[in-house]
Structure 1
Amino acid sequence: MKSAVIYARYSSASQTEQSIEGQLDVCKKYAQDNDLQIVDTYIDRAMTGKNDQRAAFQKLLSDSEKPVTWEIVLVYAIDRFGRNSIEIAVNKQRLKKNRKTLISATQRTSENIDGTKNLDGILLENMYIGLAEYYSEELSQKILRGLNESRKKGFYCGGGVPYGYKVVARKIVDDAEKADIVRYIFSQYALGVYVPTIIKALTERGVYHNGKPFAPNTVYHILKNEKYLGIYRNKGEEYDNIYPQIVPIEIFDKVRAKVQKNKYGKRSVQVTYLLRHKLKCGYCGHPISAESGTSSNGEVIHYYKCHGRKKYRNGCEKTALRKEFLENFVLETILRELSKPDTMNKVVDGLMQIQEMQNKESPILKTLLSEKRQTETALNNLMSAIEQGIISATTNKRLHELENKLTELERNILIEQSKTKITLSEDKIRKYYEQALLKEPQMLINLLIKQIVLYNDKMIVYYNSPIQTSPDGNSQGFSFYDEIAFMPYIIQNKPNPAMRAIRVIMTV
C-alpha cells in the first residue's frame, strides 16, 4: 500500500468550506478504491491558483524534499494544483525530482500510481492545464470588461471612497458637509496656511476625522487626490464621470505645485540627506558623502562633499555642494522632465526594446540548453555501451549521475524559460514611474534613482528600471535626456547665490 497526501484548494471568499469537504471526500474515496493510505492533508482556503504563492502549497513542496513517508500527491482535479501552466510544469518537475507523483482523483494524469507513464494521460493532462489557465484568464477578462463598462457609465465599482464623498444607489455623490471641509482645506493651503494650522482650526471648529483630529498624512492625502478634481484613473484609463468635482481646477493646480515644492522637507527639524548613498564623484570615483559645518556667524551649513578629497586628500577637483541647492535641483529636474509626455515616452519605449532583446537572447538559457544536449549525448553513449554488455559499478554510478543532471537541467530550463516570458506591459512600466513621482521625496529618490555621478559642470543621473535585468548582469542602458540646466551656488562674501550651468544627462 502506497502512502499519499491530499492537496485541496478553493479560490475565492465566496466559496465555502463545503468546497474543501467535497474535494476531500472524492479524494478519500479514490484512495480507498486504489489502495492508497492518506497520511496528511494540505489545504489552502480562498487562494488563487494563478500563482503558487500559497502557504499550504509551498509547505507541501518543501515537505516533498524531506525524508517523508508519502509518495503520492492526490488532488481533486489538476486545476486545484494550479492554473498557471509554467508554474504547474516547474512544480511537477520539483515533485518528480523528489520521487513524488501527482495524481488527480477525477482526471487522467501523465503518470499512474505505480509510476508508469500514461500515454493518453499525457495529452489529457496538458489539455486540462490549458483549459484551467484559459478559464482563469477568460474569467479575469470578463470581470475587467464588466468593471470597465460600469465605470464608463459612471457607476461605483467598489473600493474606498475619499473623504467628502458617499455612495448612493451605486453612484458616488458629494457629501455636502464634508465636501465643504475639503474645499476649506484646499483654499487654506492655497493661501499658504500650513497643514498643522489647518488641523488646529478644524479641531477648534469641532471637525474631526473618524472621531479624532485630522492626521497630517490624511490632510496631505486629500491635497494630492485627483478625485476631488473629478478625475479617476484606473489601469491607464481616465474617467471624469464617476467622482463629482469638488475643488476648482485653478485651486487644485496651485495646491499641487505647493505640495511638490514643500515636500522637500525645508521646515523639518531633523536633517535628512535625501541623496545619501546615491552620489559618486565623477573625477576620482569615491562616494560623495553628507557633511555639515558651522559658519562664522554660527549658522549650521549642510552640504555634500567628495569623500576621496576629504579623507584621502587625493587632489580631487570636485567642489562641495550645498545640500538644499543640490537636492532641490535634482528633485525639481526629475519631477519636471519625467512629467513631460515626450520624456516619459522615450523611457518607456527604450525599456520595451531592451525587454524584447532580453527575451530573445538569454545567455543562461543558451548555456542550459547546450549542457542538456551534451548530457543527452553522454547518456545515449552510455546506454549504447550498456546494451553492448559493458556494465560495471562505474557505469551504473555514471548513469545515475547523468540522469540526475538531466533532471536538474530540465527543471532549470523550465524556470529560465518562464523568466523570459515574465514581461511588463508598456502600461505597467509607465505606471511604475508615474506612481514614483507621486511619492514623498525620500521614497521618490529610492524608487527612481540608482546613482548620480557628479562633476563640477555635469551630472549623470542613472535611473532604476522596473523590468527584469539580463541574467548575466550586462544589460545595456540608454540615455533619454541631455540638456543644460542652471543650479544655484554660493559665492563667498556674496549675500545671494549665483547660477551655474550644469549639463544634465539622464540614463536608464
Structure 2
Amino acid sequence: MPTRAVIYARYSSDQQRSASIADQVEVCRRYIERQGWALTGTYDDAAASGASTLTRSGYQRLMQAAQASAFDVVVTEAIDRLGRNLSDVAHCFDQLSFRRVQLHAVNLGQVTQLHIGIMGTMAQLQLTDLGQKTRRGQLGRVRAGKIPSGLAYGYDAVPPPQAVRKPANGESTRSRPRSFGGSSATTPPARRRAPSPLSSTKRASPAQVDARGATP
C-alpha cells in the first residue's frame, strides 16, 4: 500500500494573492510525486492568520483527519505555514508524531524536533516583530490625524479621503439633499409648537377675582 500523503497550505493576509494557495499546493504536489507517495487530500486556509489555530477551519479538519488515521504524511511548503506560534507548531508536531504521522516541509524535508525548536522560535519572533511594526504604523496614522484601523461598518472611502455613511437603501447621504414638503431645503422646517390650553386662557384681573369672591 503506497504512503498516503496530504497537503496543508495557508496564506495569512487578504492583501496577498489568492493564487498563493495554488502555488503552495503545486510545490507540495511535486515533492510528493518525487517521493513516490499517493496524494489523498488537500487542506488549506485562505487569508487566515498564523497567530492562532482556533480560527482556521482547514487546520482543524487536518487534525481531525489525523486522529482518524486518514493519512501517513503531512506535506507543507514550510513550517510557518502550520503557524507562527511556537506552542501551536510544537503541539501540532506532537499530535502527528503520537499518531505516527510524519511531517515534511518542502524546504527542509522530514521535520524533526530540532526543526520545530529552531524554525518555530524564528516564526514566533517574526510574529512578535510584525505586531510591533503594526502598532508603530497605527501610531503614525494617529499622529497624522487619521484612523489607525479600517473604516467603520457602513462607511465607504471616497476621494478626497473621507468617510461617507451609507444608509440602509445603499444610497450615499451625499448623493442628494433631503426635501421637505416639496422644497429643496436641506434642513426640515422648524416645528410649530401646538398652543397650550393654559396659554390661551386670559388671566383674570384682581377686580374680577374680587367680584367672583363677593357674596350676593
TM category (shorter chain) comes to 0.5 to 0.7
Deviation for aligned residue 1:6: 0.3
Asked if 2 retains the 8 angstrom alpha-carbon contact of 1:11 and 1:48, the reply is: yes
Give the residue type in structure 1 aligned to 2:33.
Q
**Structure 1: unaligned runs, 5 residues or longer:** 112-121, 179-203, 207-508
Q: In 2 relative to 1, CA 63–171 (structure 1 residues): closer, same or farther, beyond 3 Å? A: same
Superposition pairs for residues 403-442 of structure 1, below 5 Å?
none
Determine the structure 2 residue equivalent to 1:302: none
Once the two structures are superposed, the pairs formed by residues 87-166 of structure 1 within 5 Å of their partners are: 87-111=88-112, 122-160=113-151
Give how far 1:43 is off: 1.0
Corresponding position: 1:13 with 2:14: yes
Distance 1:153 1:64, change over 3 A: same
Q: How does 1:347-366 map to 2 (within 5 A)?
A: none
Is the counterpart of residue 38 in structure 1 residue 35 in structure 2? Answer: no
Which residue is equivalent to 1:240? none
Q: Tell me, yes or no, if the aligned pair for 2:138 and 2:149 is still in contact at 8 Å.
A: no
- Does the 8 Å contact 1:5/1:41 carry over to 2? yes
* TM superposition shift of 1:170: 4.9
Q: 1:156 to 1:12 in 2, by over 3 A?
A: same
Q: Can you list the C-alpha shifts for 1:389-445, whole angstroms capped at 9, x where unaligned?
A: xxxxxxxxxxxxxxxxxxxxxxxxxxxxxxxxxxxxxxxxxxxxxxxxxxxxxxxxx
SS in 1 for 2:119: helix
TM-score normalised by length of structure 1: 0.30
Supply the RMSD in Å over aligned alpha carbons: 2.8
2:24 maps to 23
Shift of 1:159: 3.3
Give the 3-state SS of the residue equivalent to 2:133 in structure 1: helix
Which residues of 2 match residues 53-92 of structure 1 at below 5 A?
53=54, 54-68=56-70, 70-92=71-93
Q: Please report how far the alpha carbon of residue 65 of structure 1 lies from its aligned counterpart in structure 2 after TM superposition.
A: 1.0
- Distance in 2 (CA, whole Å) between partners of 1:65 and 1:88 is 17
- The answer to whether the 8 A contact 1:155-1:172 is kept is no
Q: 1:9 to 1:172 in 2, by over 3 A?
A: closer
1:438 is matched with which residue? none
1:85, distance to aligned residue in structure 2 (A): 0.4
**Structure 2 residue 49 is matched with structure 1 residue 48:** yes
Report the TM-score, using the length of structure 2 for normalisation: 0.67
Aligned-pair distance for 1:97? Answer: 1.7
Aligned length: 164
Cα distance change, pair 67–128 in 1 and its aligned pair in 2 (3 A): closer
- Alpha-carbon displacement from aligned partner over 1:437-484 (angstroms, at most 9, x marks no partner): xxxxxxxxxxxxxxxxxxxxxxxxxxxxxxxxxxxxxxxxxxxxxxxx
SS at match of 1:11: coil
2:111 and 2:152 map into 1 onto residues whose CA distance is: 50
Give the gaps of 5 or more residues in structure 2: 165-172, 174-186, 190-216
Aligned AA (1:75): T
Amino acid in the other structure paired with 1:93: D
Deviation at 1:101, TM superposition (A): 1.5
Q: Do the aligned partners of 1:109 and 1:125 also contact (CA within 8 Å) in 2? A: no
Structure showing the higher helix proportion among its residues: 1
SS in 1 for 2:104: strand
The structure showing larger relative contact order (alpha-carbon pairs under 8 Å, at least 6 residues apart) is: 2
Structure 1 residues 151 and 96: alpha-carbon distance in aligned structure 2, compared to 1, 3 A threshold: same
- The answer (yes or no) to whether the contact 2:82–2:89 under 8 Å persists in 1 is yes
The 10-residue stretch of structure 1 (100-109 or 137-146) with the greater mean CA deviation from structure 2 = 100-109
Q: In the TM superposition, what is the alpha-carbon distance from 1:158 to its structure 2 partner?
A: 3.7
Structure 1 residue 66 displacement after superposition:
1.1
TM alignment of 1:341-490, pairs within 5 A: none
Structure 2 letter corresponding to 1:62: Q
Letter in 2 for 1:152: R
Structure 2 equivalent of residue 469 of structure 1? none
Residue of structure 1 in register with 2:177 after alignment:
none
Counterparts in 2 of 1:168 and 1:82: CA distance versus 1, 3 Å: same
Q: Cα offset for 1:171?
A: 6.7
